[in-house]
Structure 1
Amino acid sequence: MDLLMPFPPHPRLRRYISHYWLSRNSSAGDHRILPDGCVDLVLAAGHDLTATAYGSTTAPGIARVQAGHHYLGIRFHPGQHRHFLPLPAAELRDRALPLPDHRGLIATLGSQVFTHPHPSRVLDRLMLDWLAHHPTETDALDRWLLHAPWKSSIVPVCDAFGVGKRQLQRQFQQRLGISPGTFLTIRRCQWLIRTLTREGVPPLAALAQDAGFSDQSHMTRTLKRVMGVTPAAAILPDHDVAFIQDAVRTAPLI
């Protein structure tokens, strides 16, 4: 994906969608996918129109790009794909599932959106129309996931929602396809990458303690396992990360 152009969704969609993105006339190559608890719907226009749902991941993965194809993505906030895609989150975990039948929402996403001068307007109209015919229900957990703190643990989350660990586990599996512990670890690693790529990084031992790791080695192992990098080499180029994930991209949406 040579140039990824992100677009913010309509204000009424921002509780569900992080952003849209578009890549035209891509060059062939592999691009990394990093865990973030989100699900992406990706449409590819080559000889045919294909749709793929990329689920929540627990380790770095790879998205393969075909030369000359156009790609368009809808990045849902954690747990919010359930309002638009008929796919259980647990089935999507660490997987990319093709949607060959193009049913439901996907059936309305024709290849013309790739050449439209304002693709975000087309997507907004389609998504808003979908919601008008498919009412949604959101709750306190959805609102928490939208602004989930990077530094938290399972017990305070259970206390905040008045549920036990098993019930919280069940809700996360249903909505995100991953456990609350995995999600909180991902959030912590996202914060680490942001911190490590800024100027004036504190000593790694102090950073590990502040992030809630037992020691620096624990932090290094976790960051390597989840994000595929070490604290000494935490820079992840924007162009090398598929779907423009918020954890590594700092430029404003356009």
Structure 2
Amino acid sequence: MAVAEGGDERRIRADEPTGVLHPANLSRYDARWIDPDPRVADVVDQYWAVRWSLDDGEMIDQAIIDLPAINLTIEAGDVPAGLLVTGLHERAWFRRITGTGDVFAIRLRPAGLAVLSSLRPEDLVNQTIPITAELDAGLHELMTRAAGERTAESRSRAVNDAIADRMRQNPPQASHLLANRVLDELRARAYNRTSTPLAERFGISERTIQRALSQTLGIGPKQVARRIRLQEAAQAIAIQDDDRLTELAVQLGYSDQAHLTSDFRATTGTTPGAYRRILRQLTASAEHR
């Protein structure tokens, strides 16, 4: 068996984009990133792990604006199921945290799902589904194998090797690797309004880009860019001490503050101003806990 590389571990900071709408909660979860092996970089974007132990009767309804990515998780404790796949959500989604538990997760690159599974992205939209042998025997075998390891670090090594094996048997398709590159480009240009059009940047047609993202994520480039902008907006609102929403809207490519406010409310159910007030209340409560 090949020796796995990667595996560097670091805590997830509250001031970095994660999609967690109340980032101060990250300190409650013992949340960590674990870097994937470079061998699986075309399939895995990031491993992450969380562990929590809340007081009796305590409950956190955690809201999340995730990146355009599909997540596979191994879970234990007070959780919905032991093995889960979470698809893209059209709006912010919620996870209720109670009791104790731990999660090891694989955030896939766009090309990843087709390498590991027969599931299609459109099968998973707005859903978190238990991974069973009946749902997908190959994916269930891979996840069960990793779940047999006792720590997040050993799970990451097991998954690295298992995915590297799958990639040799079922390499990523060229169009799916294009989707990886397009997503990287959209993430890199979140604050750049004057970027070269994607079709020109990659020297291909808009239709080719649309098809690559649709095959791997189930959505097109406009929806991908919107999701990235909203995650960046939520993060900026959470860490900034002032109310520079007009400036933020311009930086993220919105026509004006009203457009940002409307988009944020449609996705999260609250306005940026109300979200900031909630964050301040949570911070004050945590300081007095």
Could you state the TM-score of these two structures normalised by the residue count of structure 1? 0.76
Aligned equivalent of 1:89, options 99, 115, 121? 121
Does residue 35 of structure 2 align to residue 4 of structure 1? no
Report the alpha carbon displacement of residue 155 of structure 1 after superposing the two structures with TM. 8.9
Provide Cα deviations, 1:157-180, integer angstroms capped at 9, x if missing partner. 233345555544333221111222
| 2:132 corresponds to 1:100 | yes
- Aligned with residue 172 of structure 1, among 213, 218, 222: 213
Are 2:237 and 1:210 equivalent residues in the alignment? no
Q: Secondary structure at the match of 1:114?
A: coil
Identity among equivalent positions (%) equals: 23
Q: Which consecutive residues of structure 1, in runs of 5 or more, have no partner in the other structure? A: 241-254
Q: Which residue of 1 aligns with 2:71?
A: 40
CA distance in 2, matches of 1:55, 1:224: 21
**CA 212–49 in structure 1, closer or farther in 2 if over 3 Å, else same:** closer
Mean Cα deviation higher: 16-25 or 161-170: 161-170
Instruction: Give the 3 Å change call, closer, same or farther, for CA 207–65 of structure 1 in structure 2.
Output: closer
Counterpart of 1:23 (choices 50, 58, 68) is 50
Of the two structures, which has the highest relative contact order with CA contacts closer than 8 Å and spacing of 6 or more?
1
Picking from 129, 135, 144, the partner of 2:171 is 135
Number of residue pairs matched by the alignment: 238
Which stretch shifts more, 20-29 or 166-175? 20-29
CA drift of 1:154 comes to 11
Instruction: Indicate yes or no: 2:227 matched with 1:186.
Output: yes
* Superposed displacement of residue 191, structure 1: 2.7
Higher mean displacement: 183-192 or 136-145: 136-145
Asked if the contact 1:42/1:53 (under 8 Å) is kept, the reply is yes
Range with bigger deviation, 192-201 or 80-89: 192-201
Residue number in structure 1 paired with 2:200: 159
Secondary structure in structure 2 of the residue aligned to 1:113: coil
TM-score, normalized by length of structure 2?
0.68
The alpha-carbon distance between structure 1 residues 79 and 32, as it changes in their structure 2 partners (threshold 3 A), is farther
Q: Which residue of 1 aligns with 2:14?
A: none
The amino acid of 1:2's aligned partner reads: Y
